[in-house]
């Protein structure tokens, strides 16, 4: 019974850590949107879609993640593990939190360019922190990362790092195309997008090294 309780507490800690990471990441996305210097690559498509479709950023994010889950199933087929369907409730949680974050930061003023960069860097730091906590939790990844992992599993010769970069670039290109086709000019992809693409991974790696000292099993 004691062992069972320990396992239950251990799993609970990991899911609480995951939800904390998702919450922080969602607010990071909200800050990047508020800065108006371009969102992170993974949020670029939902943001652009929200500008021309009757959808919020969060709702567009949920729909995009549903497509990503379907892609994983099509890629892996019999190799697809049903536990990965946990990405679906995670997507809804993340999407709704993103909308809440956008609402919560709407009162922040950043009219000057340097103020926009401050808000942008706050967003980058929050996204990186959220990613680090998500990785530390180790229970389920967001559907976007799930697609990258699925492709790497189906094609073992492709390294995760290269595939992740290619995936992010593809999303940014899609955001640009959607922006020009449906809005008539570029939206959602700017210098802040490049900064996020470069810095989020680097910062997350540093934070991850700090989190390595935290042993969930012993607490």
Q: How far is CA 217 from CA 14, 55, 135, 140, 206, in A?
A: 10, 41, 16, 18, 22
pTM: 0.87
Whole-number pLDDT of residue 44: 93
Kindly report, residue by residue over 58-69, the tens digit of the pLDDT: 999 999 999 999
- pLDDT at residue 160, as a whole number: 77
**In the chain, which stretches have pLDDT less than 50?**
219
What is the per-residue pLDDT for 100? 96
Output the CA–CA distances (angstroms, integers) from residue 134 to 25, 36, 125, 131, in the order listed: 9, 26, 14, 5
Task: Report DSSP state, residue 109.
Answer: -
- Residue 28 CB partners (closer than 8 Å, separation 6+): 40, 122, 123, 124, 125, 126, 127, 128, 129, 130
Share of the chain above pLDDT 70, in %: 94
Angle of the 191-211 helix axis to the 41-52 helix axis, nearest 10:
140
pLDDT of residue 1: 57
């Amino acid at each position: 019974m004691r062992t069972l309780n320990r396992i239950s507490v251990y799993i609970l800690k990991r899911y609480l850590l995951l939800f904390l990471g998702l919450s922080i990441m969602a607010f990071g996305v909200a800050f990047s949107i508020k800065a108006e210097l371009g969102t992170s690559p993974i949020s670029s498509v939902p943001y652009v879609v929200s500008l021309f479709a009757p959808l919020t950023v969060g709702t567009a994010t949920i729909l995009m993640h549903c497509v990503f889950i379907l892609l994983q199933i099509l890629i892996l087929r019999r190799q697809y593990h049903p536990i990965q369907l946990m990405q679906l409730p995670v997507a809804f949680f993340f999407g709704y939190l993103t909308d809440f974050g956008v609402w919560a930061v709407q009162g922040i003023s950043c009219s000057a360019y340097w103020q926009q960069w401050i808000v942008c860097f706050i967003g980058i730091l929050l996204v990186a922190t959220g990613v680090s906590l998500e990785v530390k939790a180790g229970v389920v990844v967001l559907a976007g990362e799930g697609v990258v992992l699925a492709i790497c599993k189906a094609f073992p010769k492709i390294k995760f790092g290269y595939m992740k970069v290619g995936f992010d670039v593809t999303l940014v290109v899609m955001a640009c195309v959607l922006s020009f086709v449906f809005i008539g000019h570029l939206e959602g992809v700017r210098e802040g997008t490049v900064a996020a693409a470069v810095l989020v991974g680097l910062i997350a790696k540093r934070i991850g090294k700090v989190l390595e000292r935290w042993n969930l099993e012993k607490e």
